[in-house]
Amino acid sequence: MKRRPTIMDVAARAGVSKSTVSLVLQGSPQVKPATRSAVQDAMAEIGYVYNRAAANLRSASVGLVGLVINDLRNPFFTEFATTLQMTLAAQGYATVIANSDEDPTLQAKLVASMIEHGVTALVISPAYGEASDTFDALARRAIPVLQVLRKGDERTGIFPFASFDYAGGSAAATRHLVDQGARNIAFVGGLPGRAITRERKSGWREVLKEQGIAEIALHGKSSRAFGMQAAETLLADHPKVDAAVCFNDLVALGLMTGFARAGRPIGQGFPIVGFDDIEEAAQSWPPLSSVACDIAGFARETADRLLAWMVEGQRPEPEIRSPVRLVARASSLGVGP
Amino acid sequence: MKRRPTIMDVAARAGVSKSTVSLVLQGSPQVKPATRSAVQDAMAEIGYVYNRAAANLRSASVGLVGLVINDLRNPFFTEFATTLQMTLAAQGYATVIANSDEDPTLQAKLVASMIEHGVTALVISPAYGEASDTFDALARRAIPVLQVLRKGDERTGIFPFASFDYAGGSAAATRHLVDQGARNIAFVGGLPGRAITRERKSGWREVLKEQGIAEIALHGKSSRAFGMQAAETLLADHPKVDAAVCFNDLVALGLMTGFARAGRPIGQGFPIVGFDDIEEAAQSWPPLSSVACDIAGFARETADRLLAWMVEGQRPEPEIRSPVRLVARASSLGVGP
DNA sequence: CTTAGCTATTGGATCGTTCCAATTCTAGTC
DNA sequence: GACTAGAATTGGAACGATCCAATAGCTAAG
């Protein structure tokens, strides 16, 4: 009675065989238009819904993409995840989004659960930490896996990796600050020892070397709170520092708040540049200069690459870097509030 | 060769029957420990993964929960979604998160896709707009559906609804501003005609009536940008207004930025209170007073309610309101920066 | 009227698991 | 050594779709 209707029920109602119903479901041009609409009416009448699980059992590919993100609360990743999901949805693929919350154990569970549910492909921005088992399991099934935005530990090199040209971005930012007359440019934020910190620092370091400037770097969690704390540290311990490249916008905004609190608003003689160009950057006061990563564009490219891999079996290059763009705003242009 | 191994392969390897393997998978106490470990070894050796789709085909319930959110980019919803997912994950349930992006059409597609994938239950914060078809389909299958945070159109009353006591919260906020000596308290933000705007306004209105204060409300998109715009409007057209209750923190932060830009920092003679108490509220300058909704707690309660419904068939009450808490910070306490 | 050559439809096998009833094993008792 | 109760294991049917080879229906040509 409460049983959910099957194609057999539809077939009985429409007076055809289950095979015909199946053909209609797959949009086969084989079926006569009259038959097709009879079947469709029958489906509507008895409230039939497709049972994808049953279908996949017989016919492999599912059209289900898994997306595992290390920190979904971070707006940067949220934007990426939602855009990717919507792009894939437009192509008829369903996406399962999951947040590993930087926990490799949870991440392993999530990935396992996704494999069990039969994802056809996986996009992952890995949590830091030991995860070789997780990746081994993925490699063993021949599931297309795309690492994005972040590289896991060394062993994950088996899977293609796509991200932004962070080094180029921070170099551009640093050069911009030099152009503004800054001489002692600190690097603020980023946990030490991580690939992304290394990348974002390397561009800054390169320019400093070029200019013969000494390095001052403050590392820590990439949060607003750390930025505020860093402001105090800079003001107290590094009075000569006259500009900063920040690991990301959150740190930069925190830094801005910290300076404002100390009565030394950013932008007047102390230019800073953030990274990521999150929505808030343009809306802070003063507006925050930032290295813009076109996340939405990147998400769309990711979707394209994934589809090319899934559908045409065309594996992407092992490492892809999307260009970034420096957006100069008041926070680095000496235009005070 | 590349075929993914099945329980038959495991059975062959372990020298038992497929039924025994199945029992091991289900953790049945029936199997002899020796047999159990033999089977488990075999699974490890050939890299077996459970095929949930096949299992569900035979035995109904899946342990898959759908979560459809109207705007996943909004940190408020992000926090809810991630906490809910992690809580359910701890209970062994997988969660599919999807973002409808306020688009009823996309929402319908997402819900349909989830039903096809066989979700056992659905949590939805509906997009505004016509969605009766979507909900009819859900009602027809007897899938537990919990509406959260937002009520859809009137027709969705069929499903239980859980949210916060918004009216109580805005009443508390308004009373607090009155206590600070404010007399002309504006309400800023919220799109007109929506249930949530009505609720958040009603508490404010109630207190104004009590105090015999005239109403001034500025409605608009609940964004930082609108808050900035509202600041200009208030300063230009409503010079008498001396405090504001904001629809949410984003608007409040925008308002703060707008006032700062105009050289009239918030907190000095112009107290404001936001709503939601997002992480940023405590970190802005001045720190923003806000009506705190314990989203993480709410998400955990939601998970509990859902589990009670799914597992014990215990349908929640038609309308549940979780209490909120006013967090007074500098933005409403007259403590200037 | 038969038949070839289409197009449209169909029955049966199949996917990987669970469920059930039936069978085999084990050990204890007489 | 036969018997039995319980524990452990097993083979086959079932879930709801797809796929394939086979069949039915139709038209036009011979």
* Predicted pLDDT of residue B137: 75
| Nearest residue in A to B96, CA atom | A96
Give the minimum alpha-carbon distance from B277 to chain A in angstroms, rounded to a whole number: 15
Chain A residues whose beta carbon lies within 8 Å of the beta carbon of residue B78: 72-73, 78
Rounded mean pLDDT, B192-211? 93
Residues 6+ apart with CB under 8 A from B19: none
Position B335 confidence tier, pLDDT thresholds 50, 70, 90 = very low
Lowest mean pLDDT among B137-141, B152-156, B197-201: B152-156
pLDDT tens digit sequence for A296-315: 999 999 999 999 988 888 89
Contact B308, B314 (CB under 8 A): yes
| Nearest residue in B to A5, CA atom | B141
The verdict on a CB contact (< 8 Å) between B285 and A99 is no
Residue A241, pLDDT > 60, answer yes
Residue A190 DSSP symbol: B
A contact test, residue of B58, B67, B79, B97 with most A CBs within 10 A = B97
The interface residues of chain A toward chain B in range 72-91, judged by CB-CB distance below 8 A, are 72-73, 75, 78-79, 81-82, 85-86, 89
Contact B186, B174 (CB under 8 A): no
* Predicted pLDDT of residue A1: 45
Rounded mean pLDDT, B21-32? 90
Chain A residues whose beta carbon lies within 8 Å of the beta carbon of residue B134: none
Rounded mean pLDDT, B55-66? 82
Task: Tell me how long chain A is.
Answer: 337
What domains can you pick out in chain B, each with its CATH number?
A: 7-50 (1.10.260.40), 62-164+295-323 (3.40.50.2300), 166-293+326-332 (3.40.50.2300)
Residue A274, pLDDT > 90, answer yes
Say how many C-beta atoms besides its own lie within 10 A of residue A279's C-beta: 14
Rounded mean pLDDT, A149-176? 88
pLDDT tens digit sequence for A95-131: 999 999 999 999 998 998 888 888 889 999 998 887 7
Contact A243, A184 (CB under 8 A): yes
Q: How far apart are CA B168 and CA B199, in angstroms?
A: 9
Q: Give the DSSP letter string of B139-199.
A: HHTT--EEEESS--SGGGGGS-EEEE-HHHHHHHHHHHHHHTT---EEEE-B-TT-HHHHH
- B235 in A contact zone (CB under 8 Å): no
Mean per-residue pLDDT over chain B, rounded? 89
Nucleotides on strand D lying under 7 Å from protein C-beta: 7-12, 14-21
**Sheet order of strands, A64-69 included:** A319-322, A161-164, A145-148, A121-125, A64-69, A94-99, B94-99, B64-69, B121-125, B145-148, B161-164, B319-322
Q: How far apart are CA B137 and CA B133, in angstroms?
A: 6
The verdict on a CB contact (< 8 Å) between B52 and A118 is yes
- Between CA B25 and C1' C22 the distance (Å) reads 22
Strand-pair partners of A276: A292
**Position of tokens 């932004």?**
A164
* Predicted pLDDT of residue B28: 86
Chain A residues whose beta carbon lies within 8 Å of the beta carbon of residue B82: 72-73, 99, 101
* Predicted pLDDT of residue B156: 63
* Predicted pLDDT of residue B2: 61
Say how many C-beta atoms besides its own lie within 10 A of residue B136's C-beta: 12
Contact B296, B307 (CB under 8 A): no
Give the minimum alpha-carbon distance from A214 to chain B in angstroms, rounded to a whole number: 31
Residue B132 identity: S
Chain A residues whose beta carbon lies within 8 Å of the beta carbon of residue B113: 89, 94
The verdict on a CB contact (< 8 Å) between B73 and A89 is no
